Amino acid sequence: MEQPRTRPHQPGTRRGGSPLPPQAGRGPAGRPARPARPGPRARATAQPRPAAVRRPVPSPAPGAGKLPNLRLTGLGGGVFCAAVMFVLGCLDRLLFGSSLTAYGVLFLPVCVLTAVWMRRGDLLTAPVVVPIAFAVGLIPAVDGDGLGARLVALAGGLATQAGWLYGGTLVAGLIATVRRARLMNRRPQV
């Protein structure tokens, strides 16, 4: 009994092994057909490819003090903003004696950086994570002994510093809206 052929048919050859006439090697509409891949024997005798040449990465220009081009996800932006505000709240307590005005002033640049570094698809989360981060950073910044006193001081700090909170949220919202509008204007109109 004869065994069926297990090797796939190669274009450009007949089953008997003889090559096809030149016009038979053409594809649809008279275009030349794709060249056949070399067989396993031809691959083994082929010359090895030269190794890829790695070029050194150019170093940044001296004095290029630009901000890094970070892109944070919604969750990453929230974690970044909350962590920075928590550290700033601790520093405010140590350096300024729990000055909530200094904390509010430090809050504004963090809002700007969060909105600028947010990824395109997550721009709308910037005005949401900023107020949460304000409250997280306010925990170490307020005075109070014990959990109850600290919660009362936190509520009072949120009430008295609402101007900074709303201002930072407004700044983050405006930056996110402007960036979103610019992205929508860049899309091709169909």
pLDDT given at position 120:
86
Mean pLDDT per 10-residue segment, the chain (190 residues): 65 60 57 61 62 69 62 88 94 89 93 91 90 93 86 91 93 93 79
| In-domain check, residue 172 | yes
| In-domain check, residue 35 | no
| In-domain check, residue 127 | yes
| In-domain check, residue 5 | no
**Structural domain containing residue 170:** 74-186
The reported pTM is: 0.61
Measure CA of the first residue to CA of the last residue in the chain; give whole Å: 63
| In-domain check, residue 53 | no
| In-domain check, residue 6 | no
The secondary structure of 48-92, three-state, reads CCCCCCCCCCCCCCCCCCCCCCCCECHHHHHHHHHHHHHHHHHHH
| Paired residues of 26 in beta bridges | 32
| In-domain check, residue 55 | no
pLDDT given at position 146:
86
| In-domain check, residue 98 | yes
Quote the Cα angle for 162-117-105, to 5°.
Answer: 30
Please state the domain count of the chain. 1
